[in-house]
């Protein structure tokens, strides 16, 4: 066994630098280095920052790297995130609901969902099982001021400036010994078995390595352009293929608060995100180019934001929804957009990157035989990716909107994945429960194998292991979208008692409201966020 092994990461950005910083922290010890890591970053590749939302797994990455949370928030213009709020997804008439991170469950048996289903649904389901929706409505963050004592712990994530996050990770990684080459790759040398041996650069460098990580985005310069690994298209179930983004600085528009949640509003041909940072609000319209033009999408986004956006430029971002038939081939591992992409409705963009880094650390090839490790890595990454595809598809399958051609199209039966259909059909016979994710095989589910791309590996039908979205997440979306409305009328009658929050939630909410400050106040006092004057809305 040769140690340290040489890892070469091609491409920087948040994915490349997260891989570098995480692998260095997870594998190397002060007195024993397992890997030497180099990042080759091209100065020719434009940097795109649209405001990034995350899920709670990012906290594991920060902790492993050794990043202090408050320092992190300062460096990336970060804000806290309790939940995602969905607006206009059901009927397009102003209705809303939350997918909160911190569902509280009762032990030894939890009947809170059953109690809500037996009620008149006069209160949103999420508000009966979590304090976080009302904390979001009141713009209250998850932490008290430092030194003011403990409060009930909440599960949370972050909003951030992804460009600043990449720069911060670069600073950390290079200070710990990661080599940074600012140069453009021009050639890739393979041996007769298809193993990557050396990269050549415009500046004349020959960079050899044992393991290469492709973080070159949709360009996929190693995994696709050189190794020819197929892309599996998922656009049949997720129609959107473009986004237009606008950043509005608080100098032009500060509403007087900082939301502790991401906002996702359904509009004519897709949906619009709103992500609050410490210096600005970031908006983006994720849409289908088959149902609206770039100019119409920009016009609709600007109308949604209002005249505050008049001085802000728009940027268009094309994308494709799908994944690699294999993320790890020979000694090359694809991460980030090179490995796959799902529209960011549930903020899983950075998650898939951090999962790949975590998985590679766990499956690191200390010896030369990488095939068994790649076999498991590829299976788990594909399962997790398809789990996310199904969960995003679920949001569209449950809508009742018919006001535009786009919404009529997403409701067509062929736009619902068979895996989602079998779940919904089963849950119409009994509400979802914990054991549904023990072995996620439902009556009538097709056993269609995964695409092989002509490569060896595990191609059995994917299994939903609820690694990202389990029962709590499904309940939030299903009941937020009025699932089982007609069934409950048949099961329980139409004269049902009012909805009530769990007693623990009422107590938790009172305690949080008395001890936790508004997020904007906390950020201003703890992180030095400027105190912007409030801008009246025209």
Q: Do the beta carbons of residue 196 and residue 189 sit within 8 Å?
A: yes
Strand, coil or helix: 90 = coil
What is the end-to-end Cα distance of the chain in Å, rounded? 67
Q: Does residue 223 have a cis peptide bond before it, meaning omega lies within 30 degrees of 0?
A: no
Beta strands in 32-110 (DSSP E): 35-41, 52-53, 79-81, 83-87, 96-100
- Please give the Cα distance from 361 to 496 (Å, whole number): 52
Number of neighbouring beta carbons within 10 Å of residue 240: 24
Distance between CA atoms of 32 and 232, rounded to whole angstroms? 40
Residue 286 near residue 240, CB atoms below 8 Å: yes
Measuring CA to CA, which residue among 213, 222, 195, 226 is closest to residue 38? 213
- The three-class DSSP label of residue 140 is strand
Q: By the 8 A CB rule, do 81 and 111 touch?
A: no
Assess whether 164 carries a catalytic annotation: no
Residue 35 dihedral angles phi and psi, to the nearest 5°: -135, 145
Helices 349-362 & 371-397 angle (0-180, nearest 10): 160
482: exposed, middle or buried (Cβ count in 10 Å: 0-12, 13-18, 19+) = middle
What lies within 8 Å, CB to CB, of 506 at 6+ separation is: none
**Residue pair 380/363 in contact by the 8 Å Cβ criterion:** no
Residue 437: which of 414, 396, 465 has the closest Cα? 465
Query: 285 is written with which tokens?
Result: 């319209």
- Out of 5, 74, 81, 423, the active site residue is 81
Chain position carrying tokens 């996702």? 264
Question: Before 453, cis peptide (omega within 30)?
Answer: no
Q: In terms of Cα–Cα distance, which of 253, 400, 378 is closest to 323?
A: 378
Please report, for residues 173, 381, 423, 464, 469, the alpha-carbon distance to residue 437 in angstroms, rounded to integers and kept in the order given: 38, 18, 10, 7, 10
Please give the positions annotated as active site.
Answer: 81
């Amino acid at each position: 066994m040769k140690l340290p092994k040489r890892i070469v990461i091609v491409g920087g950005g948040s994915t490349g630098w997260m891989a570098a910083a995480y692998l260095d922290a997870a594998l190397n010890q002060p007195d024993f280095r397992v890997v030497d890591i180099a990042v080759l970053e091209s100065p020719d590749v434009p940097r795109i920052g649209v405001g990034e939302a995350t899920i709670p797994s990012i906290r594991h990455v920060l902790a492993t790297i050794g990043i202090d949370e408050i320092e992190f928030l300062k460096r990336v213009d970060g804000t806290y995130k309790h939940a995602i709020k969905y607006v206009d997804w059901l009927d397009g008439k102003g209705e809303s609901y939350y997918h909160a991170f911190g569902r509280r469950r009762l032990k030894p048996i939890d009947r809170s969902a059953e109690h809500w289903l037996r009620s008149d649904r006069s209160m949103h389901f999420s508000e009966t099982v979590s304090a976080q929706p009302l904390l979001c409505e009141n713009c209250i963050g998850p932490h008290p001021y430092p030194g003011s004592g403990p409060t009930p712990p909440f599960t949370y994530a972050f909003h951030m400036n992804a460009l600043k996050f990449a720069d911060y990770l670069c600073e950390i990684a290079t200070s710990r010994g990661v080599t940074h080459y600012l140069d453009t790759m021009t050639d890739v040398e393979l041996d007769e078995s298809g193993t990557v041996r050396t990269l050549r650069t415009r500046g004349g460098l020959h960079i050899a390595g044992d393991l290469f990580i492709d973080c070159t985005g949709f360009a996929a310069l190693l995994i696709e352009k050189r190794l020819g690994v197929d892309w599996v298209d998922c656009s049949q179930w997720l129609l959107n293929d473009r986004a237009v983004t606008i950043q509005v600085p608080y100098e032009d528009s500060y509403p007087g608060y900082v939301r502790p949640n991401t906002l996702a509003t359904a509009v004519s041909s897709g949906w619009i995100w709103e992500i609050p940072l410490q210096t600005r609000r970031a908006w983006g319209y994720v849409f289908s180019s088959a149902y609206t033009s770039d100019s119409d999408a920009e016009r609709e986004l600007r109308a949604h934001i209002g005249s505050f956006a008049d001085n802000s430029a728009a940027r268009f971002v094309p994308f494709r929804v799908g994944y690699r038939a294999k993320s790890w081939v020979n000694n090359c591992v694809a991460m980030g957009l090179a490995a796959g992409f799902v529209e960011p409705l549930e903020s899983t963009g950075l998650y898939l990157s951090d999962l790949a880094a975590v998985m590679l650390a766990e499956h690191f090839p200390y010896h030369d035989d990488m095939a068994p490790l790649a076999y498991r890595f590829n299976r788990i990454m594909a399962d997790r990716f398809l789990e996310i595809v199904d969960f995003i598809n679920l949001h569209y399958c449950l809508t009742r909107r018919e006001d535009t051609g786009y919404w009529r199209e997403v409701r067509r039966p062929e736009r619902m994945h068979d895996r989602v259909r079998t779940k919904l059909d089963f849950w119409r016979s009994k509400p979802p429960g914990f054991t549904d994710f023990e072995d996620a095989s439902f009556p009538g589910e097709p056993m269609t194998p995964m695409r092989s791309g002509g490569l060896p590996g595990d191609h059995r039908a994917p299994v939903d292991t609820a690694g990202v979205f389990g029962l709590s997440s499904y309940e939030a979306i299903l009941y937020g979208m009025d699932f089982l409305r007609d069934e409950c009328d048949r099961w329980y009658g139409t004269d049902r008692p009012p909805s009530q929050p769990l007693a623990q939630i009422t107590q938790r909410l009172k305690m949080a409201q008395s001890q936790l400050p508004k997020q904007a106040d906390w950020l201003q006092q703890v992180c030095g966020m400027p105190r912007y004057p409030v801008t009246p809305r025209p």
